[in-house]
Amino acid sequence: MTIKYPGARWKPLGPQTEPKMTGHDIVCVHTMVGYLSTTNTYFRSGNGSGYNGTESHFGIGGAWGLDVRLGLDGEVFEWQDLAYQADANMNGGRTVLSIETADNAPRYPKDIKRWTDKQVISLVDLIAWLCSKEAHRYCPSNWECHKSGIPTTLIPDTKPGRRGLSYHAQGIPPNLVSGGVCWSTSRGKECPGPVRIKQFKEEIIPAVQRKLKGADDVSKADAVEALRTPIARNLNGSKPKDETVSVVTFMERGDEKLDELRIAAKAHGAYLASINKAVKALAANSAEDVRAAFEEGLAELQKQFDAIEARITLE
């Protein structure tokens, strides 16, 4: 049976030639140094034709290059059946599920930009699904993933037996520890780049953990923390239009500057309705109404707490 992620476009690379996996122990994130559109072409014909070359299980599009014109920011492709190995993690192929992500294709790894908002949502959704027991219901019953899914914590190194989340550079010299499984021979390769490694640790992993807690286990504190996550800058002085601050930041500031601001809601998908009343209260310059509306919004968020991301944009 082919194991597919429900949120991906199924994009097999041709007749299956890869060996089967021996377990699903680790989810590893990569960066393409390129775009989803061009990487898709490369996997099919540029590196040995289909599964005879290098491939990853998944790819996520970005907001750069050809991906922009094709509308692929946040789009997920699944190139490989999860029952079979992918080559992106070299010697780790037997137990590592790999996710490639599009970027701004810079010359140096240090110049790789952060994942976009849409990429973050797709990454969190995909990784959370891969870590769930549901994703492994068809795996052999003696596999740990079938029994309990995949842990949502960062592995310390790539030694055999590790289970959890990772980024590619952990298995590459000089980061590779003695006894660790080598994931690339390109010494010094920083995949997915310093900025994204930091983002993975500080934003992606915590968001995955929150998502897998389930709606019944989400507390007010969790919801508030989620609304902080893109971190807001403070509002001293004039700011450009793309400057963003969270609802929480406005609440903590009180009403001292509300009469100076025109507020507009900018939220993703289903969460717009959850904060709409709070936004109206902000526009009306009423700190008390803001707090009441925000409390009501939190109650709604707790019912469908998938990937909370609400922002307020200054005009």
Domains of the chain: residue spans and CATH: 9-213 (3.40.80.10), 217-314 (no CATH)
Structure tokens at 9: 């476009």
List the structure tokens of 146: 């079938």
pLDDT in tens, 150-185: 999 999 999 999 999 999 999 999 999 999 999 999
CA distance 311 to 245: 6
C-alpha closest to that of 77 among 183, 166, 4, 129: 4
DSSP 16: -
pLDDT at 267: 37
For the chain, the average pLDDT equals: 79
31 or 219: which leads in pLDDT: 31
Euclidean distance between CA atoms 246 and 269, whole angstroms: 17
pLDDT above 60 (res 109): yes
Tokens of 203: 């934003």
Residue 45's pLDDT is what? 85
CA torsion through residues 116, 119, 121, 123, sign = negative
Q: What pLDDT, in 10s, does the model give residues 124-147? A: 999 999 999 999 999 999 999 999
Q: Decide: 243 and 266 in contact? Cβ < 8 Å.
A: no
3-state secondary structure of 264: strand
- Averaged over 284-302, what is the pLDDT? 61
**DSSP of 83-138:** TB--GGGGGGTTTEEEEEE-----SSGGGPPPPPHHHHHHHHHHHHHHHSSGGGTT
CA 187/CA 313 separation, integer angstroms: 43
pLDDT at 47: 74
Higher pLDDT, 278 or 128: 128
Q: pLDDT tens for residues 33-83? A: 999 999 999 999 877 678 999 999 999 999 999 999 999 999 999 999 999
Mean pLDDT of 190-212: 96
